[in-house]
Chain A
Amino acid sequence: MTKKQEIEHYVAPYDEGVSFDELPDSEPTGRFRLSWSGWLGASIVAFWVFIAIFGPALAPLGENDLPFPDDYSEFQSPREGAWLGTDVSDRDILSRLMYGAGRTIGIAFAATVLAYFIGVILGIGAAISSPRVDMVVSRINDAFLSLPTIMLGLVVVAAVGSSIPVLIVTAGVIYATVVFRLARALGQEIMVMDFVEAAKVRGEGRWWIITREIWPNAAMPLLTDFGLRLIYVILFISSLSFLGLGVQPPQSDWGSMVRENLGALSYGQSVIPVLAPALAIATLTVAINLVVDDISAHSGGKLSKRL
């Protein structure tokens, strides 16, 4: 290097005795805030939960009452006394919608909770048990997973008939297979982390490792998935009801309301009797999805932002 002499030696100004601390790692991420779409979703969900709980009390009429007993005709247009018009049996659509909310949401929620109860216990159990047990349980689970959910539902309903408890248990067991797979994968992922091994080396028992080391780390991702699973269970229950194999008349839920009133569309009479319950399901599931999307985008780092 002939040019070396030219290169100047630069020393930044400094105070003697100033220590140079270890530089901090990246800042901890800020507290989670919902975006506007998340808020929209959350408020719609809150609205429907409110209706599900207080719907029957607030409904203008009973589930099977006729708003216009003197004037019987199907699919009447909305007017005072029946703000959403009447259905195929001239009942008040608004009131039925409010009654149905509790059933659709309640069944789906109970089924999802059941699915989580079964799936998480078996999934984490499989993750920490011996490879042989794990393989047997997982293979059985895979067999169930390889069946289309609706087919499984149809077979069960055909076998034992349809009632609300049957629907909850059926949906719960079917979706437990999905939860199982997720919980097992999460469990396995956490199991190989050094802090779990550290607990083992310390001599901790299995129970401590599950409840204190694995569970706190699995809870958050499982919670996010709960919302997603709830959507699928709502769609599943509604589809069964729509096929006439879910909630049975005279009780109603949103899926069966679509089915009952399908005639209104095919004969070109009216849109509302079909649209109202279908829209109710769609707003609920889409709203849940908006919230879930917002949360998972935050925890996973919004891809669109990163690019």
Chain B
Amino acid sequence: MAAAKKSAKKTAKKATAKKAVASKAAKKNTATKAKASAAKTSATKSKRNMDDVVFEARDLRIHAIRDDGSELPIVKGVDFKVRRGEVVALIGESGSGKTTISLSALGYCKPGLQFAGGEALLMGENVIGKTTEELRESRGEKVAYLAQSAAATFNPSILINEQVTEAPVLHGTKTQEEADAKALQLYKALELPDPENIGSRYPHQVSGGQLQRLMAAMALCGEPDLLVLDEPTTALDVTTQIEVLKAFKGVIKEEGAAAIYVTHDLAVVAQIADHIVVLYNGEIKEAGPVDTIINSPQHPYTKRLMAAIKPLPEAGQGDGSSDDYLKDAPVLEVKDIDAGYGKSSDGKPKVMVLKDVNVAIERGKTVGIIGESGCGKSTLARVFAGLLPPSEGEIMLDGQGLAPDLKDRSREELKKIQFVYQMADTALNPRQQIKDILGRPVEFYSGLSGKQRRDRVNELLEMVELPLAFADRYPHELSGGQKQRVNLARALAADPEVVLCDEVTSALDTIVGANVIELLKGLRKKTGVSYVFISHDLSTVASFADEIVVLYAGRVAEQGPTDQVLSPPYHPYTRLLVSSVPEARVGWLEDTMARQESTAGIAGQVQLTEVGCPFFERCPLAIKGTCDTTNPPQRVDKNKHVIECHRELSELGG
């Protein structure tokens, strides 16, 4: 403790010392540049007219350079305009060229790419073909960039404040003091905690959601004319995303900047954009005002994108799985599970991840496990799979006890429970052909070989709707969605009774992910297989699961049939989750923020608590003195719908 304090003090001291040096340098800088900068600002100010076109792409073409020197067109002639005060969204799947196009506003191409034609006009000047020195003038001053991962884009060795204020100070548009003041104002506007001191920390000392907002401060500190935002909320949890979106939107409006917003998520676009450009394979398919595109899309591709938008998580969406396969005992069940990592001296895990979890999976049914990152949902899947034996509780297969450690399970038992990993890239051995990846479990579990094995592999490929010719390919020769299908086929090869799906659609584009879900539904109907479907995406789970388990910090907050969980009464956390899922409707963000009862949407360090409700600190309905000191009781609604909360069910209704 004492040491920590000391080091903190030291940091602060160092920071002030550094600041002094920096401001001295800045002063010197200003002295020489004062005149120029004054002239510059006034010139820019006078240009600030609502009619201004801040950025325009004219027949923009960008090619990739292959290893042998040949060129591959990535962007094939794109035209669009961004006016002052306007947010233009570039939307498309991965491979559509959206990020590449957005970077052209900075005159920048990722390594391996090059401009092949057309113009990128920033404030009327073409940035293509400018020298590095000329580009440096505009970058950070006229145009600023926000990347997808703030964690990677902050330099780990430099204090946050220096990074935030770097651009305007270097360009001489602000003195260090002015930049510091601007930064502070932005920290406050972005609702960052402890705005006075957050700048004198290192990037690893603040949370992911905070860093994302700090990156916005970094981009806005130089008061640029154009902001380029590259999927800035994609990596965040929904509850965090909504806060960050709100902060971005407010700040963009306030500063009157123009912005290019790159994303694949139409629901997010509806909240923040004025104008949408739909891209496919480096070409514009449709462009227009946000209302028009969202409400009456014309182009078949846009229609498809709109169709792939998941409906809001509400009661009554489930396809209704068949009851034909039901038996007396659930196929897989865990009772009163505690689990965690490491081992302390009393035999309990050092880090507790799951506490008192009960889940039963019926035949032919699907259980959705939902929660934010770090809530323990993947750990639960590992407990089912036998990869992490629980420290307490038991696992049952077909009503019989099942060994907690997979080493002690028989081959027949192993066969019945199959695991599908999130990242098909790492889940498939890059040195094995698809026929071996699928053939091995066939051979291993059913003892088939030769032609029988080949036939079964072909059958599996057909089941997951892949061409038979793929049998001879290696994983890297497949696209992301195809790999995920192979990943799924490998699990099916065992002819399992339960398939554990760990975030199987999270890494996929919307349309591809929707197709995989359709495939899962069809297989469930056809074979009677059960799923444990783990996801942070409530919409997907709502359309697919028969039962939902909401995990928060390793505890079950709420669980029950899908329709019951998604209708009142709600656990306050479920309520927060449900209301945070963005709707593809203009004005949703404002409506929600007006209604949002929880003021602390952004997850800090979520930790399993020994006593009290872990959601206490974020809960709008928390009862001080009760929720933080005693474990919440189980409130049973109808139909096995359970909510763990100190509040009465009637209080959780409205």
Complex A–B touching at CB under 8 A: yes
Bound CA span A192–B367, Å? 27
Is A22 in the interface zone, CB < 8 Å from B? yes
| Closest A residue by C-beta to B304 | A20
A22-B479, A22-B481, A29-B67 in contact; A198/B490 too (CB < 8 A)? yes
Is B157 in the interface zone, CB < 8 Å from A? no
Bound CA span A8–B292, Å? 10
A22-B479, A23-B93 in contact; A202/B441 too (CB < 8 A)? yes
Contacts of B386 in A (CB 8 A): 201
Contacts of B498 in A (CB 8 A): none
Which residues 207-262 in B have Cβ within 8 Å of A in the complex?
Answer: none
Asked whether B292 lies within 8 Å of A9 as measured between CB atoms, the reply is yes
Is B411 in the interface zone, CB < 8 Å from A? yes
The count of residues in chain A whose C-beta lies closer than 8 Å to any C-beta of chain B is 37
Is A25 in the interface zone, CB < 8 Å from B? yes
Asked whether A7 lies within 8 Å of B275 as measured between CB atoms, the reply is yes
User: Per-position contact with A for B321-344: 1 when CB-CB < 8 Å, else 0?
Assistant: 000000000000000000000000
A201-B406, A203-B411 in contact; A194/B426 too (CB < 8 A)? yes
Bound CA span A30–B111, Å? 18
A202-B414, A203-B444, A217-B430 in contact; A14/B479 too (CB < 8 A)? no
Bound CA span A7–B275, Å? 8
Is A204 in the interface zone, CB < 8 Å from B? yes
Cβ-defined partner of B429 (8 Å) among A1, A7, A216: A216
Is B112 in the interface zone, CB < 8 Å from A? yes
Asked whether B512 lies within 8 Å of A14 as measured between CB atoms, the reply is no
Asked whether B284 lies within 8 Å of A12 as measured between CB atoms, the reply is yes
Cβ-defined partner of A10 (8 Å) among B94, B287, B509: B287
A1-B274, A12-B285, A14-B285 in contact; A25/B95 too (CB < 8 A)? yes
Is B633 in the interface zone, CB < 8 Å from A? no
Is A4 in the interface zone, CB < 8 Å from B? yes
Asked whether B509 lies within 8 Å of A195 as measured between CB atoms, the reply is no
Cβ-defined partner of A28 (8 Å) among B72, B284, B476, B494: B476
Asked whether A10 lies within 8 Å of B428 as measured between CB atoms, the reply is no
Asked whether B286 lies within 8 Å of A1 as measured between CB atoms, the reply is no
Is B298 in the interface zone, CB < 8 Å from A? yes
Is A306 in the interface zone, CB < 8 Å from B? yes
Cβ-defined partner of B299 (8 Å) among A11, A200, A201: A11
Contacts of A23 in B (CB 8 A): 93-96, 280-281, 479
Cβ-defined partner of B301 (8 Å) among A8, A20, A28: A20
Is A3 in the interface zone, CB < 8 Å from B? yes
CB distance from B592 to the nearest CB of A (A): 21
Contacts of A9 in B (CB 8 A): 286-289, 292, 298
Asked whether B512 lies within 8 Å of A22 as measured between CB atoms, the reply is yes
Contacts of A25 in B (CB 8 A): 95, 478-480
Which residues 92-127 in B have Cβ within 8 Å of A in the complex?
Answer: 93-96, 111-112
| Closest A residue by C-beta to B292 | A9
Asked whether B299 lies within 8 Å of A14 as measured between CB atoms, the reply is yes
User: Per-position contact with B for A164-208: 1 when CB-CB < 8 Å, else 0?
Assistant: 000000000000000000000000000001110110111110000
Is A300 in the interface zone, CB < 8 Å from B? no
Bound CA span A14–B385, Å? 48
Is B423 in the interface zone, CB < 8 Å from A? yes
Is B351 in the interface zone, CB < 8 Å from A? no
Is B5 in the interface zone, CB < 8 Å from A? no
| Closest A residue by C-beta to B422 | A194
Cβ-defined partner of B66 (8 Å) among A10, A20, A30, A217: A30
Is A225 in the interface zone, CB < 8 Å from B? no
Which residue, B96, B289, B386, B482, has most C-beta atoms of chain A within 10 A? Answer: B289
Asked whether B479 lies within 8 Å of A24 as measured between CB atoms, the reply is yes
Which residues 40-69 in A have Cβ within 8 Å of B in the complex?
Answer: none
Contacts of A200 in B (CB 8 A): 387, 406
CB distance from B77 to the nearest CB of A (A): 11
Is B477 in the interface zone, CB < 8 Å from A? yes
Is B350 in the interface zone, CB < 8 Å from A? no
User: Per-position contact with B for A146-177: 1 when CB-CB < 8 Å, else 0?
Assistant: 00000000000000000000000000000000
CB distance from A257 to the nearest CB of B (A): 43
Asked whether B287 lies within 8 Å of A30 as measured between CB atoms, the reply is no
Is B83 in the interface zone, CB < 8 Å from A? yes
Asked whether A14 lies within 8 Å of B300 as measured between CB atoms, the reply is yes
Contacts of A30 in B (CB 8 A): 66-68
Contacts of B51 in A (CB 8 A): 3
Contacts of A29 in B (CB 8 A): 67
Contacts of A203 in B (CB 8 A): 406, 409, 411, 414, 444
Is A16 in the interface zone, CB < 8 Å from B? yes
Is A307 in the interface zone, CB < 8 Å from B? yes
CB distance from A302 to the nearest CB of B (A): 10
A3-B50, A29-B67 in contact; A201/B387 too (CB < 8 A)? yes
CB distance from A23 to the nearest CB of B (A): 3
Is B421 in the interface zone, CB < 8 Å from A? yes
Asked whether B431 lies within 8 Å of A16 as measured between CB atoms, the reply is no
Is A18 in the interface zone, CB < 8 Å from B? yes
Is A213 in the interface zone, CB < 8 Å from B? yes
A201-B386, A203-B444 in contact; A216/B431 too (CB < 8 A)? yes
Bound CA span A251–B143, Å? 72
CB distance from B519 to the nearest CB of A (A): 13
A9-B287, A23-B281, A203-B411 in contact; A307/B111 too (CB < 8 A)? yes
Using a CB–CB cutoff of 8 Å, the interface residues on chain A facing chain B are: 1, 3-4, 7-12, 14, 16, 18, 20, 22-25, 27-30, 193-195, 197-198, 200-204, 212-213, 216-217, 306-307
Q: List 14 A-B contacts (CB under 8 A).
A: A3-B83, A4-B289, A7-B275, A9-B289, A9-B292, A10-B287, A27-B66, A194-B421, A194-B423, A195-B429, A201-B418, A203-B409, A216-B429, A307-B111
Q: Besides A10-B284, A23-B281, A193-B426, 17 other CB < 8 A contacts?
A: A4-B289, A9-B286, A11-B285, A11-B299, A14-B300, A14-B301, A22-B479, A22-B482, A22-B511, A23-B280, A25-B95, A27-B66, A30-B67, A195-B427, A198-B427, A201-B406, A217-B430
